[in-house]
Copies of this chain bind each other. A is one copy, B any other.
Amino acid sequence: MDHKKPATMAEIATRAGVALSTVSYVLSGKRPVSPEMRERVMAAIEELDYRPHGPARALASGTSHTIALFLPSPQWDLVPVQQMFVAGATQATSARDYALLLSTLPAGPAEIVGLLSSGRADGAIVMETLAEDARIDALRRSGQTFTVIGRTADTTGLDFVDLDYGEGVRKSLAHLAGLGHRTVALFNFPPDQLAEGYYSALIARQAFAEATAELGIRGIDLPCPHPAPEAFGVATSLLRSEPECTAAITTGWQFTGLLTALREAGMHVPDDFSVVSVIAAPFAEMLTPALTGIEWPAFEAGRLAAEMLIDRLTGDTEPPRQLLVGGDLVVRDSTGPAPETTPPKSRMKLQLVYDPRPERKERTH
């Protein structure tokens, strides 16, 4: 039992018979120290089981070696991809010897900036952004260091890593077009998220509009809640009112309700109707039929976001890093017999689709 309270640097210094600062410099390496002194200090540290005191260090150095991660809401339940972001960020943070402060409060601009200026964290990662996001605006104004998972409409000077949802929609549609479908529905994010300006939803909508036009396909844009009962309702009325529609793309878990609706309507997947989800993992393989969809390297994206932030904190002053990460379309039963190729294994390697410099214009269509 070692109930003793932790040793301090002063005690180490005494024990080793050196000056306090020498201990400090041995630890930080910010100044050369002779081998013998280093030895003595290290020995003392070992013997007394010394641990640098975090808060003291933070106070004196002005840096907490901690980053904060802000999740959107505690309705955190439904979004495995977000959880992968967190896992990736946690990993990277540990690997770089930083700590990760997790925050779920309905974190408004004030809370976020507040936490940072309280000195408890040196920088922040913000998730689930709107096209116009008050939190991002506040962070920009505050001059704090931060990174975004997602992005805002105005990406000027913004560090972000985002999944390329637009590309996901395009790939999904192209796949369906290739199978001969001429009328395709998009089960987009729910109306309230669209109204709020949730940027991924806007991007999906626009990509769908553009891609259907390009491919000469009739597109039906359908905002739709994720939960099964609601999605079931939306899907049922779609099937009734649009008999020509033979395929659908969902942006999330709307596929559950959709599949049920198809079953009840006596339609078989994929013979009568095909389904693709822009984001299906980890459910895709468990479903019957297994779901065709885009697989995203979300863990890697989270890792990258954290690394970008820490790079900034440790002095990187390069131009903004803006990464759009691509996903792979994995074909499964819901759009026909799966091809020979085995699906990519668990943790995908990163695939950067797009890494714009701020001055470059975003592609128009």
* A residues with CB within 8 A of B: 1-3, 6, 51-56, 58-59, 64, 66, 69, 71, 74, 76-78, 80, 83-84, 86-87, 90-91, 94, 99-105, 114, 117-120, 141-143, 228, 253, 256, 259, 263, 282-283, 285-288, 299, 346
Contacts and interface: CB of A to CB of B under 8 A. Distances in A.
A51 B117 contact: yes
A6 B117 contact: yes
Contacts of A263: 288
A77 B302 CA distance: 13
Contact of A87 (B66, B77, B141, B287): B77
B143 A1 contact: yes
Given A3-B143, A90-B104, A103-B94, A118 B285 contact: no
Given A117-B51, A143-B2, A286-B256, A91 B74 contact: yes
A261 B6 CA distance: 56
Nearest to A49: B117
Contacts of A51: 114, 117-118
A52 B104 CA distance: 21
A362 B187 CA distance: 52
A307 to B, nearest CB: 15
A207 to B, nearest CB: 26
Top 10 nearest A-B pairs (CB, nearest first) are A55-B58, A54-B120, A3-B143, A55-B55, A288-B288, A55-B59, A90-B104, A94-B105, A6-B117, A51-B118
A66 to B, nearest CB: 8
Given A59-B59, A99-B101, 18 more contacts: A1-B143, A2-B141, A3-B142, A3-B143, A6-B117, A54-B55, A54-B58, A55-B55, A58-B58, A71-B90, A74-B91, A77-B84, A83-B83, A90-B102, A102-B102, A228-B285, A256-B285, A287-B288
